[in-house]
Structure 1
Amino acid sequence: MLTRSGAWTAAAAVGLVALGTWTDYPELVTLGLAAAGALLVAAAWLVATPRLTVVREVRPRRVFEGGAAQGTLTVTNVGRRGSPPLLVSETIGGHRTTVAVPALTAGHSCTVSYPLPVARRGRYVIPPVALGHSDPLRLLHRGRACGGELVVHVYPRVHLLATITAGGPQDTDGQTTGNAPLGGAAFHSLREYTPGDDWRRIHWGATARTGTVMTRHVVVPDEPRQLVVLDTSSASYHGSLFEDAVRVAASFCVAAERSGLPLQLRTTGAAERESSGTALEFLSTVEPDSADRGLAALSGLVRDVVSDTQGVALVIVTGRLDADATQLLMLLRHRFLSVSLAQLVSPDSALPPRPRGVLAVAAPSSERFAAGWNRLVLR
């Protein structure tokens, strides 16, 4: 394809030939033919495309906001003749990065590294790398796509948050149920020995009393679960505070994982994820929604998570909280081991009265929230 210089050269060739013919001025015709000849030479230069292989790597493929990702290209000349200098282009998040690769003799390779623009959270799809070269006069350019697509996840920035231990101990003597998974160390009951049971778990006292070989039935104890609900209604936030709310939700997810608590993340838009890894991946793409009902949908969101045998610690991350939402939290409080409220609000916002029995912290940024939360929990 024509470069900008090539387009001007082509226009000059046509114009000079036409003007020289019309005015019977052979010098102008000669200049026009010279320009056309330069284009033909450039086209001939590009006919013999060098045989190159390109290996691309992006590391890391998952990075937190403020982190750095780097692309690495290894270009190898597998042909019999040398290749000219090349320009390699990467496009990520609408930003184009162009990397220069020097001329390569036959059989040689070159590795170049370059930073990738991944400052904002998101899921970035990197298209195949564009490998191109041009003639010495930069009149024509020829390129081709190499490799496949790559995906880079930029997770929200995470702050260190203290966890609340109101959910109860997570030890081997925790509460158990008969349908709990086997293989733990918590004693649940005695039962008859079956072939394959560990003989070290035989209860000799019960065996002597009943005349039947009895063994200890041990299971994994029930543990309190952490349920994080992120309000994704755009009406709940001012300006960029939704980004801070996403960071706070991510911080709670990581804190639960670090403490060994089973985790579930839900949004008021009905999206759901379990475990810290998938939660962070989801939070890298979540966006506010003007059609989202916000905390008005909370009752339906939590209806299925409370059981008689397993407690749930609820964390709600939102922006502005109206009187109806405050009343709803007070009605739901008795159904959970604990209820925590994280509010991301502008400094001049008027806050409604704190719901009774709810641990609430309001702040204008995720950093200020983390500091206030830790100060409240650890005091």
Structure 2
Amino acid sequence: MPLSTRVGSARPTLKAGRRSLSVSPVAYLAAGLGVVGLVVGRTLGWVEFVAAGTLLLVLVVIAGLSTIGRSSYQVDLRLGEYNVKVGERAFGSIDVHNVGRRSVLPARIELNVGRGRAEFALPMLAPDATHTELFAVPTTRRSVIGVGPVKSVRADALGLVRREVTWTDREELFVHPRTVSLAGAAAGVIHDLEGQSRNTLSEDDMSFHALREYVPGDDKRTIHWKSSARANKLMVRQFEDTRRTHTAVSLDVFGPHWDTEQSFELGVSVLASFGLQVLRDSMDASLFAGARTLRTHSARALLDDSSRIELPNDQGERLEPRNRRSQATDPASRIAMDAPTCSLAVVITGTTQSRAELSEVAKTLPVGARALFLLCEDGAKSVVASRGQVSFASLGALEDLGRVLRMAVVA
């Protein structure tokens, strides 16, 4: 596909570039040595010191003069896509237009991309001339990549003095995780919208259970008059409690619970795949990643939030033992606090915890909810085991997620 067909509209540029002048420590040192050389040379009559001091001062002056010049640019930063999947090619362009009445001298264009920086040589531009630079952004890892700002730089060859003008704001490129479709595979796990029956009895619901004798305080609308006439006493209808399907999926972001970064990326992909499926099926869902709650009003918002998920130790935070972790970051406690009425609770974690530890974790999940623990380990064999209402599944590849869910239903 030609690049021109993928390049989107430019984001608004700054009305006036933000200017900044920086002088390197070497420039200050050269100026100081130059002054010392002139003073000492003239005092002691040493021509060599005078020559060296003069040379250093001339270099500093030339460096300063090289940054002089007015930049009358209009700079547009364009990204072909602001949301891509891992591995997809992401392109962009920088358009520099001379809006002044005079030609502008050559300069250097710098573009921050993530933690790196790209540099482009900007030639002399005649009035009303435009120069375009194309660039590609690597998307080998799920992340949110900052693209920009775009700066024009004037500096001397030795880097003593530098003047830069910032022309655009920073843009964000969302690299979404890989996902798979769970259509049909999750049918036995994510229940239908009519609600599932529970063993709890209720006075008012849809699923009829039995008749019982009337007691003071019962709703008179539940009286079954025909049965009351036959029994010669008031009888009321009793129902089984049902509830609307609500799926809660929580990703463990506690670093020691994950053996490798690849396993954690697998966990993020599982979380996003679950989220997309419940969105397609128009079901109620709550998605958590540590203390973060993922937006579920649209697929794009969900995937954008998935791109921001990181392990705390990647952010330089101090890791705490499990018994000191806050409920806001514990995956099971998070479900119990923020989705207490869920019908399905899915906890996505690594494989460094034992089944006994996970069984203890399951006790904190909402009562009556079906629990599924997905243990992600890149390259591992997929195995499923169940203990009552709790299922444990090992997952080694994202492509096996559908099969693992079907196995969890049978187990």
Task: Measure the CA separation in 1 of the matches of 2:171 and 2:374.
Answer: 35
Shift of 1:278: 2.6
Task: Measure the CA separation in 2 of the matches of 1:77 and 1:99.
Answer: 16
Task: Measure the CA separation in 2 of the matches of 1:224 and 1:298.
Answer: 15
Q: Does the C-alpha gap of structure 1 residues 98 and 118 become closer, same or farther in structure 2, counting only changes over 3 Å?
A: farther
Q: Does the C-alpha gap of structure 1 residues 303 and 42 become closer, same or farther in structure 2, counting only changes over 3 Å?
A: closer
Aligned residue for 1:316? 347
SS in 1 for 2:303: helix
Q: Pick from 35, 53, 76 the counterpart of residue 32 of structure 1.
A: 53
Instruction: Decide whether the 8 Å contact of 1:330 with 1:356 is kept in 2.
Output: no
Instruction: Decide whether the 8 Å contact of 2:153 with 2:162 is kept in 1.
Output: yes
What pairs with 1:150-169 in structure 2 (closer than 5 Å)? 150-162=171-183, 163-166=185-188, 167=190
User: Could you report, residue by residue, the CA deviation over 1:171-190 in whole angstroms, capped at 9, with x for unpaired residues?
Assistant: xxx78xxxxxxxxxxxxxxx
Task: Measure the CA separation in 1 of the matches of 2:110 and 2:346.
Answer: 44
Q: Pick from 386, 393, 396 the counterpart of residue 361 of structure 1.
A: 393
What pairs with 1:119-134 in structure 2 (closer than 5 Å)? 119-126=140-147, 128-134=149-155
SS in 2 for 1:164: coil
SS in 2 for 1:111: strand
Shift of 1:321: 5.3
Aligned residue for 1:252? 274
Q: Does the C-alpha gap of structure 1 residues 155 and 347 become closer, same or farther in structure 2, counting only changes over 3 Å?
A: closer
Normalising by structure 1, we get a TM-score of 0.67
Shift of 1:143: 0.8
**Residue type at the aligned position of 1:133:** R
Q: Pick from 393, 404, 407 the counterpart of residue 373 of structure 1.
A: 404
User: Could you report, residue by residue, the CA deviation over 1:134-162 in whole angstroms, capped at 9, with x for unpaired residues?
Assistant: 35776532112222232333322324445
User: Could you report, residue by residue, the CA deviation over 1:329-361 in whole angstroms, capped at 9, with x for unpaired residues?
Assistant: 59979945x654321147899x99532455543
User: Could you report, residue by residue, the CA deviation over 1:281-338 in whole angstroms, capped at 9, with x for unpaired residues?
Assistant: 2222234464233425544443233xxxxxx4543322235436436759979945x6
Aligned residue for 1:192? none
| 2:359 is the counterpart of 1:326 | yes
**Structure 1 spans left out of the alignment, 5+ residues:** 176-221, 306-311
Shift of 1:72: 1.8
Instruction: Decide whether the 8 Å contact of 1:161 with 1:373 is kept in 2.
Output: no
Task: Measure the CA separation in 1 of the matches of 2:337 and 2:355.
Answer: 18
**Residue type at the aligned position of 1:56:** L
Q: Pick from 371, 375, 379 the counterpart of residue 343 of structure 1.
A: 375
Aligned residue for 2:309? 286
**Residue type at the aligned position of 1:57:** R
What pairs with 1:1-379 in structure 2 (closer than 5 Å)? 1-2=22-23, 10=31, 13-14=34-35, 16-18=37-39, 20-26=41-47, 28-126=49-147, 128-135=149-156, 139-162=160-183, 163-166=185-188, 167=190, 224-240=245-261, 241-259=263-281, 261-267=283-289, 269=291, 271=293, 273-275=295-297, 276-288=299-311, 290=320, 291=325, 292-296=329-333, 298-305=335-342, 312-319=343-350, 320=353, 322-323=355-356, 325-326=358-359, 329=362, 335=368, 339-345=371-377, 354-356=386-388, 360-364=392-396, 366-367=397-398, 369-370=400-401, 373=404, 376=407
Task: Measure the CA separation in 1 of the matches of 2:61 and 2:101.
Answer: 24
User: Could you report, residue by residue, the CA deviation over 1:101-127 in whole angstroms, capped at 9, with x for unpaired residues?
Assistant: 222222211011223355443344455
Report percent identity of matched pairs: 19
Task: Measure the CA separation in 1 of the matches of 2:167 and 2:72.
Answer: 12
Task: Measure the CA separation in 2 of the matches of 1:95 and 1:316.
Answer: 36
SS in 2 for 1:281: helix
Task: Measure the CA separation in 2 of the matches of 1:36 and 1:328.
Answer: 71
Task: Measure the CA separation in 2 of the matches of 1:335 and 1:234.
Answer: 29
Shift of 1:15: 5.4
Task: Measure the CA separation in 1 of the matches of 2:292 and 2:88.
Answer: 30
**Residue type at the aligned position of 2:94:** L
Instruction: Decide whether the 8 Å contact of 1:362 with 1:369 is kept in 2.
Output: no
Instruction: Decide whether the 8 Å contact of 1:160 with 1:370 is kept in 2.
Output: no
Instruction: Decide whether the 8 Å contact of 2:92 with 2:135 is kept in 1.
Output: yes
SS in 2 for 1:98: strand
Q: Which moved more, 1:9-18 or 1:113-122?
A: 9-18
SS in 2 for 1:362: strand
User: Could you report, residue by residue, the CA deviation over 1:27-74 in whole angstroms, capped at 9, with x for unpaired residues?
Assistant: 552453344334334433433323122111233222333334333211
Size of the aligned set, in residue pairs, is 321
Aligned residue for 1:309? none
SS in 2 for 1:317: strand
SS in 2 for 1:72: strand
Task: Measure the CA separation in 2 of the matches of 1:24 and 1:244.
Answer: 75
Q: Does the C-alpha gap of structure 1 residues 355 and 328 become closer, same or farther in structure 2, counting only changes over 3 Å?
A: farther
Shift of 1:265: 1.3
**Residue type at the aligned position of 1:362:** S
SS in 2 for 1:46: coil
SS in 2 for 1:354: strand
